[in-house]
Chain A
């Protein structure tokens, strides 16, 4: 193919061009025809909704009766082949981006794209994170940006009107002026600084916080109706429940651990689970893995221990007076823990998620694949030794 040079077409003239110009009335006819065609094109914008998240709900509200986007002839088509406008409504992740691109390529020309909401525009506060594409304009040509989180249905309607304007003007070779409504610009500017900032280091955070001379703890006022309020400490103590100590005593396990749930030796934790299940803890609530790395605790409140993983399991009783039982297992890096799958089928996905994100290995798991990240991703992003703004090629 060789290197392509940009040809703006200025030098090109079709051989018939002069002849056609001299035909009487032809230019008038083609202008009129072009106007009719432009009118048709801009008044029948069929939409392919690339609705991934919150903005998708507002997109649906735009189609519903209060705003009713059908008034201007816009209907929703489920297949990209019959659509003119792709409305990207929601966060686009790295795993999804290639699919969005493919769907965009399947749309017939001429086509337009509306980036709806701050996630589609810039990635919003997810933009520096490992799994999110910082704005769809990194891989799609966007025509209209509709800011907001999410934009109201009226704002999306406004975006469609601006798109119509753009179509009409670009057919005439004119360009659209950007939004000049200063009130609108003021509203859409972020009111607080970026929450995740590349250049902001933890040292800067610390310096800012330590320089402030303000009360550091929230003060608690007495309860308004103490007799009616539930004991808040009860919630905190729910974490281990009353039955678990009994079970541990039955099994002769001496639990350790002070600041969290009781720590159970990894090789006996299946026994605990099965004993609890027979005592009525039939519902698997969650599996939570935490990666502990020395030196990451920012103020050194937690003693520096060697690197390890802690996996907490939560079970619940069903019905009146529902209680939660929680125990934890402590693992050295690379050490597996037995899967709960044989006891609780729900452990399947829970353990896959923790394996994917934290990197804990589960022995005897029937299908230990990644759950959230793409199969070829090579890291475990929730490990504490990885920074939050981990770059993910090719988007960042």
Chain B
């Protein structure tokens, strides 16, 4: 019992600190990556090749005045930023970074990830509601509609590897892929589209372009975070990146074989795959324009949900035919 507890604590601390460091790096990476796409240089002055830019940003945000607007619901307003960060970090608990590096390989890991993912909408809605700002309220409204809708295809596409491997435990799903094939490789006609739907739905859950309508800054200024200053904004900002990183990690575990790969240790492969997915997310973000909210709903309910249902059926048939 105490061994398990020790293991949990040690790995939790380890993974949280690694993910937070990775987040800081991700901030830098995204700025450099975006700048390169736009024929700019990005941060160059602060630290070598601008590496210390996220540190400077954080130090600055720490020193900023903390403002709670008049007539805002102060309790909720102050509560939701840490909640957002926690909800985003929580999902990292069950991600298997290697056969041994995992904070807690739950029996129902996939269910846990989805459940925690569903919580992330609450802070966003709370922020929109409590700010006493019409733009934030509109943003919160959009976020709720979007997140609840995209839960459905997310769930359906996550069901595919679960059915194929016969387990809800992430470790087992990865092991299954390591023993046979990655699900995007075989059966690719089920795994590949399911992977696509999963990533799209994850983008939508993380409010990334082209699905970033809750904070569409050309329409809603800064959406739900319009009224947030200093560290509270930093928590939201960080939560967004943590969410993207964790989503990439979960996607890699569910479909890309997780830590499975030749030559290098499993941890390297997991980090590499996560980074790859993460880069893809930013590539999309800095290339595409934004959907309108009704088109976003249309995409979800008209395309992703029916496809998800079909894929779940196909996966079930596949398992029955080739057990």
Direct contact of A and B (CB under 8 A): yes
Flag whether B65 is at the interface (Cβ < 8 A).
yes
- Give chain A residues whose Cβ lies under 8 Å from the Cβ of B227: 79, 81
Tell me, yes or no, whether B2 is within 8 Å of chain A by CB: no
Interface members, chain B 51-65 (any A CB < 8 Å): 52-53, 55-65
Q: Does A36 lie at the interface of the complex (its beta carbon under 8 Å from any beta carbon of B)?
A: yes
> Is B17 engaged at the interface, CB distance under 8 Å to the other chain?
no
Tell me whether B35 and A70 are in contact (CB under 8 A).
Answer: yes
A68 to B50, CA, bound (A): 14
A350 to B151, CA, bound (A): 52
Q: How far is the CB of B161 from chain A (nearest CB, A)?
A: 38
Point out the residues of chain A lying under 8 angstroms from B233, CB to CB. 81-82
Q: Is the CB of B40 within 8 A of A72?
A: no
Q: How far is the CA of A70 from the CA of B30 in the complex (A)?
A: 13
Query: Are A65 and B39 in contact, CB atoms less than 8 angstroms apart?
Result: yes
**A71 proximity list for chain B (CB < 8 A):** 41-45, 50
Q: Once bound together, how far apart are the Cα atoms of A201 and B227, in whole Å? A: 51
Report chain A residues within 8 Å CB of B38: 65
Q: Is B10 positioned at the interface, with any CB of A under 8 Å from its CB?
A: no
How close is B40's CB to chain A, nearest CB, in angstroms? 4
**Which residues of A lie under 8 Å from residue B52 when comparing CB positions?**
43
CA distance A106 to B72 in the complex (A): 14
Q: Is the CB of A110 within 8 A of B63?
A: yes
Query: B278 interface residue, CB < 8 Å from A?
Result: no
The docked-state distance in angstroms from the alpha carbon of A78 to that of B64 is 17
Whether the Cβ atoms of A40 and B222 lie closer than 8 Å is no
Interchain CA distance A3-B222 in the complex, whole Å: 41
What total of A-B pairs shows CB separation below 8 Å? 96
Size range of the interface on A?
A: 20 to 34
Contact of A70 with B31 in the complex, beta carbons under 8 Å: yes
A214, chain B: closest CB distance, angstroms? 53
A73, B222: Cβ atoms under 8 Å? no
**A396 on the interface (CB 8 Å rule)?**
no
Residue A213 CB within 8 A of the other chain: no
B51 to chain A, nearest CB (A): 12
For B42, the closest partner residue in chain A by CB is A70
Question: For the complex, what is the distance from the CA of A109 to the CA of B64, rounded to whole Å?
Answer: 6
Question: Closest residue to A77 on the B side, CB-wise?
Answer: B222
A72 to B52 alpha-carbon distance, docked (Å): 11
Q: Distance in Å from the Cβ of B208 to the closest Cβ of chain A?
A: 18
Is the CB–CB distance between B31 and A79 below 8 Å? no
Interface residues in B81-122 (C-beta closer than 8 Å to A): none
List residues of chain B with CB under 8 Å of any chain A CB.
31, 35, 38-46, 50, 52-53, 55-67, 217, 221-222, 225-230, 233
List 16 extra interface pairs beyond A37-B59, A43-B46, CB under 8 A.
A37-B63, A40-B57, A40-B58, A40-B60, A43-B60, A44-B46, A44-B53, A71-B45, A73-B56, A79-B227, A81-B227, A81-B229, A82-B229, A84-B60, A109-B64, A110-B63
